[in-house]
Chain A
């Protein structure tokens, strides 16, 4: 395989991971903001309505997902700094030797 082939083979993986983490997580965050506004009601929304408690609860649930995603990123930075890698073979991430 030529260099171009190797580069394209790597590129689509980066694109896939980028879309899931780099676009997916911000969208989850946006859903959290949306839910938070629904929870707050009033002038947080364009068509202000009364506050909904369920919205606030959902918002914090969504923010927890985002924080977990960020922690995954941090773990990756720290782990690769110490010569480790993150494996996804058990579906949930585990730190392994490179």
Chain B
């Protein structure tokens, strides 16, 4: 809007506008990686049991994510408030951070996003279902500590409610997979008791339909939850640069761009992660698939109803593990589960380190040049990882191949 007009007044503003554009593009890139990282959460089991053909599964999930993103009209501006102290209570950025035309805050946000995207791409390359929210929060913590010091992060809240890094990020991450696993174990065990005596061909057909329904719910819930996070980040950046002033609404183009970005990512499908979750962790039959997706849908919806923030990825993985525990004699690959657990533990600190390092680099170079350098670095790293992934491609044609634990998955 007025950015172009103000550009004539000082070159400072032009510089801010270009950095803002970089932030928006990187944020949409993060949303895209968020989409393909999480296709597996909803669709891995349906693909593994052949309830849906791979291409149909990702198309359905993409469409439901798109619908979900448009369904959420609530503003997620306060999404970062529980973790870092860069904003006032109403969601506007602190005045001290926007004093120089918003550049200080924009650099932090850009470093956050670069940290998140790099971690999402690395875990995708390794076929590990790590949490995109943790990657974002990790980057946020790292870049904030680098930019504002340790006191810029809200570590433990003030004891009046569930708050801070520990309350909003770490505790839910520990508890939610356990809850999902218990629910899925109970569901799977009971289902197999109930259908004893029914021909397998008959149960498989029935449960495939149940699986499609429950997986669709997970996709829709994912669209409403995850697209909002990026919408909130972009709107924060727009406010910091003075291009948007409302804290109760977001620009329509932000909503459209984020919705398209996450659903396109979902449609592309993170096949490496789908393979790990659908074939690597547990050998899944349709009744287990339905139990797992129902557990995920119920736990995600119940916790957002109760305001208990959690990661879709952690819930989905816990559920799939539970569906293996609940079926007598089912194969659970604990080594794969261990690798996932390790990835979860290191996601937050690793994304934080990347976010912090990125911020220092941008700060050292300074201003627009700094922002350009870290975005260029991100593009180079992304290209490198994509090239690496082509050595052992995983796509819809080989996603369901038998899993051999001795073979080296990923890199």
Contacts and interface: CB of A to CB of B under 8 A. Distances in A.
A57 interface: no
A6 B199 contact: no
A10 B199 contact: no
A41 to B, nearest CB: 11
A43 B295 contact: no
A10 B308 contact: yes
A95 interface: no
Contact of A18 (B156, B183, B214): B183
B210 A29 contact: yes
A94 to B, nearest CB: 14
Interface string B219-239: 011001000000000000000
A76 B71 contact: no
A7 B172 contact: yes
Given A3-B162, A7-B162, A17 B302 contact: yes
A66 B207 CA distance: 13
Nearest to A59: B206
A37 B201 CA distance: 11
A3 B157 contact: yes
Given A26-B187, A33-B206, A77-B68, A2 B159 contact: yes
Most B-side CB within 10 Å, residue of A34, A46, A74, A76:
A34
Nearest to B197: A46
Contact of B190 (A30, A32, A36, A46): A30
A61 interface: no
A58 to B, nearest CB: 13
A15 B183 contact: yes
A51 B4 CA distance: 75
Interface string A1-23: 11110111011011101111111
A14 B191 contact: no
A2 B160 CA distance: 8
A81 B73 contact: yes
Given A22-B299, A23-B294, A81-B224, A33 B217 contact: no
B115 interface: no
Contacts of A27: 187, 190-191, 194
Interface residues of B, number: 61
Contacts of B197: 34, 37, 45-47
A33 B193 CA distance: 12
Interface residues of A, number: 49
B294 A80 contact: no
B166 interface: yes
A30 B191 contact: yes
B180 interface: yes
Nearest to A2: B159
A10 B302 CA distance: 10
B166 to A, nearest CB: 5
B303 A36 contact: no
A81 B301 CA distance: 12
Nearest to B187: A23
B21 interface: no
A18 B202 CA distance: 27
A11 B190 CA distance: 22
A66 B290 CA distance: 13
A22 B295 contact: yes
29 contacts: A3-B162, A7-B171, A7-B175, A10-B307, A11-B175, A14-B179, A17-B298, A18-B180, A18-B183, A18-B295, A19-B183, A21-B298, A21-B301, A22-B296, A23-B294, A25-B298, A29-B206, A33-B194, A33-B198, A34-B197, A36-B202, A43-B202, A45-B198, A46-B198, A74-B220, A77-B71, A80-B304, A81-B73, A85-B305
